[in-house]
Amino acid sequence: MKRTYLAILLLVIVSLLTTTGIALSDDDDGKHSLLAWFERTTPGIDPVETRLYTQECGSCHFPYQPGLLPAGSWETIMDSLDNHFGENAELAETDTNAIRNFLLNNAAGRANYGLPNKIMAAQGDRPLPLRITELRYFVYEHSELDKKMVQDNPQVKSFSHCDRCHQSAKQGLYDEHTVKIPGFGRWDD
């Protein structure tokens, strides 16, 4: 009988400690939340939240989240800004270094969750491309789309315009159930 009381007491103590730990824990915004832990397991990707990157890179094209490419790809891109896909995108050295650090610290393979993990797993030992659209994961996920829906679609023009079809791309959400292709409507395979 004494053993039963001891087991119950131990269970109560562990439960109280666990509950207290959860109640006192906080997410990155300082908010106390049990749900904050579960929110981190979403399949998306961290949204871009740096003004410099959004201002400098996003002024010419969609500001791709760093987790969409591996660090090696970002390093090569940042080393060749004088010929950035046919354009000169050179920046002041301090800006270049700040953006490089942001991209490398949050790149696929370094951002250990959701979509970046899928990208790296699918790429395997294959060479790292400079274009997101050449990643094995990307090619597979978009393989069912007809050319007329993207390249021949004047409202989209290229797979590089993520936010034209992925309505929540800027928030880092690329769920196929929220895709709406201009001129074709909602997409769901």
Q: Where are the domains of the chain?
A: 49-141, 145-189
Q: How many CB atoms lie within 10 A of CB 42?
A: 13
- Let me know how long the chain is: 189
Per residue in 143-177, pLDDT (tens digit) is 999 999 999 999 999 999 999 999 999 998 998 88
Contact status, residue 189 vs residue 62, Cβ threshold 8 Å: no
DSSP calls for 34-52: SHHHHHTT-SS-PPP--HH
Dist. CA 174–CA 130, nearest whole Å: 20
| pTM over the 0.85 mark | no
Dist. CA 65–CA 57, nearest whole Å: 11
Query: Torsions phi, psi of 186, nearest 5?
Result: -65, 140
Per residue in 82-139, pLDDT (tens digit) is 999 999 999 999 999 999 999 999 999 998 788 999 999 999 999 999 999 999 999 9
Helix (H, G, I), strand (E, B) or coil at 185: strand
